[in-house]
Structure 1
Amino acid sequence: MENDLKGIARRLAGIKLLNDYVEYGGVAAAIETIHGNVYTGISIDTACSMGFCAEHSAVAEMLKHGEYHIKALVAVDHKGNAVPPCGRCRELISQLSRENLKAIIEVKNGVFVMLKELIPFDWKEGIDREW
């Protein structure tokens, strides 16, 4: 994964308070597709847990542009440190395409793994269907 991807995410990260109930930008994510395009997203945190992750936001942007094969992904906290995707984000990315299991993810500053290493006992392995 290129350092540029992390730099892009870092420029978007920073906690911003919208009001007493909503803050956003505490986590920012950048996805590079196999075609070399970069899509970004930020987290939204609400008092009643109706927000969503930065990775989900970036995935939505990517899908809006007709792409779903991920080459690399990084999410950073408000201090710019790499953070691993939560289980919900891992699952979403893995369901977009089996090829995404090969995506390189920075899970901690300087530590890179493939998505499949974060989902060692993937429930989809036993399902025989194309997707």
Structure 2
Amino acid sequence: MKFSDHMIKKWEIVMSLKEAALSVREKAYAPYSNFKVGAALRSTSGEIFSGCNVENVAYPEGTCAEAGAIAAMVAAGEQKLAEVYVVASSPQPVPPCGGCRQKLAEFGNRDVKVTLATVEGDEFETTIGQLLPGAFDASHMEDS
């Protein structure tokens, strides 16, 4: 089978998102739960940003992998998601928490692909809109 340049490029983007998420997951700071999570996202410019969960002994003060990846994207001057990949060591792919679903909705359209994965390779594909139907957005802040 012969692959087109477009197919090869798409495969490279997907693999690099997966690789970035797996790699950053290893750097997670999770001494209390031992539950390491890695997230990688591609902005609309094609740049890849990654983040890992960072726990704190005062549990509510930790940060999620998705939030870290979004913060890295924003710090680099970008604000629009094109694709997201999240990986954890769990029996099945783990969805983002409610707060991270809202954060993803802030920076990505409803149709942005989100792949949830396990370190063993199981994957589940969804979208931001499927993860958070009826998301609160800027349109809700407009005066009537």
TM-score (norm 1): 0.77
Stretch of structure 1 that moved more, 33-42 or 81-90: 81-90
Q: Kindly indicate whether the alpha-carbon contact (under 8 Å) linking 2:25 and 2:88 is maintained by their aligned counterparts in 1.
A: yes
Determine which of 76, 91, 104 is the counterpart of 2:87.
76
- Name the CA distance, whole Å, in 2 between partners of 1:70 and 1:46: 28
SS of the aligned residue for 2:103 comes to helix
Q: Which has the higher contact order (CA 8 A, sep 6+)?
A: 1
Determine which of 98, 103, 115 is the counterpart of 1:106.
115
Give identity over the alignment, percent. Answer: 23
Instruction: Measure how far apart 1:63 and its partner are.
Output: 0.2
Q: Which runs of 5+ in 2 are unaligned?
A: 1-12
Q: Which runs of 5+ in 1 are unaligned?
A: none
1:34 matched to 2:41? The reply is no
Partner of 2:102: 91
**How many residues of Structure 1 are paired with residues of Structure 2 in the alignment?**
124
Q: Kindly indicate whether the alpha-carbon contact (under 8 Å) linking 1:27 and 1:42 is maintained by their aligned counterparts in 2.
A: yes
Instruction: Measure how far apart 1:115 and its partner are.
Output: 0.3
Determine which of 45, 49, 52 is the counterpart of 2:63.
52
Q: Kindly indicate whether the alpha-carbon contact (under 8 Å) linking 2:21 and 2:86 is maintained by their aligned counterparts in 1.
A: yes
Give the residue type in structure 2 aligned to 1:35.
S
Larger radius of gyration, structure 1 or 2? 2
SS of the aligned residue for 1:116 comes to helix
Question: Quick check: which one's strand share is greater?
Answer: 1
